[in-house]
Amino acid sequence: MSFINYASREINCKIVYYGPGLCGKTTNLQYVYQKTAPEAKGKMISLATETERTLFFDFLPLALGEIHGFKTRFHLYTVPGQVFYDASRKLILKGVDGVVFVADSQEERADANIESLDNLRFNLIEQGYDLDKLPYVVQYNKRDLPNVISVDELRRDLNPTNVPDFEACATTGEGVFETLKAVAKLILMDLKKGK
């Protein structure tokens, strides 16, 4: 649910990065943070455990610039990926405008990906959303590792509806901005349609 402020001429949108534990959601945000000009970003907040696992969420506000005189701001959130944090994940999905599903390309995480995607669908329904109607993109992360599943196979399992998808290596930044740009574009297009 975006927030359009005619008084301050601003539009705010919320993007949530979803995916199984350790798939690289936080790393995506960290890369975006590192590579964004200081004037375009706010402080990145990570509510994490002592071992740097996300406990509640990461948050990164981005001000991308103006469209037709309106400041366009995106608020990027990650969910905690570990299975037992499900209650927190549901809360973060509230008011979401667009979703990035970050998949871990490694063979041994195939089941975790599917489980997390099912969980995403289920939690969205609980909040009154339908994943097939939301701006939504998929990222196949960790493509640099040796034991990865082929993109075709990942696509078959995780992207049956053929939404925009991207190969990525979030630690080096490959594919990170492409993913963000794609979901932002879908959100703005949705706004254009006046949804």
Residues of this chain that interact with another protein (CB under 8 A) are 1-8, 11-12, 14, 42-43, 45, 47, 56-57, 59, 61, 64-65, 67-70, 72, 75, 87-88, 90-92, 94-95, 127-129, 133, 177, 181, 184-185, 188-189, 191-192, 194-195
Q: Which is nearer to another protein, 96 or 158 (CB)?
A: 96
Handedness of CA 98, 119, 169, 42 (dihedral sign): positive
Minimum Å gap between C-beta 129 and another protein is: 7
- In the complex with another protein, which residue's Cβ is closer, 53 or 155? 53
Which pairs count as long-range contacts for 121-126, CB under 8 Å and 24+ apart, including other chains? 123/86, 123/89, 123/90, 123/93, 124/93, 124/96, 124/99, 126/90
**Closest approach of Cβ 26 to another protein, in Å?**
16
Smallest separation (angstroms) from another protein to the CB of 40? 10
Which residue type does 170 have?
A: A
Closer Cβ to another protein, 158 or 188, answer by number: 188
Q: Which is nearer to another protein, 56 or 166 (CB)?
A: 56
Using an 8 Å Cβ cutoff, are 106 and 21 in contact?
Answer: no
Shortest Cβ distance from residue 16 to another protein (Å)? 11
For residues 89 and 120, what is the distance between their CA atoms, to the nearest angstrom?
9
Give the residue from 125, 138, 152, 172 showing the smallest Cα distance to 19. 138
The β-bridge partners of 12 are: 3, 73
Minimum CB distance to another protein, residue 146 (Å): 32
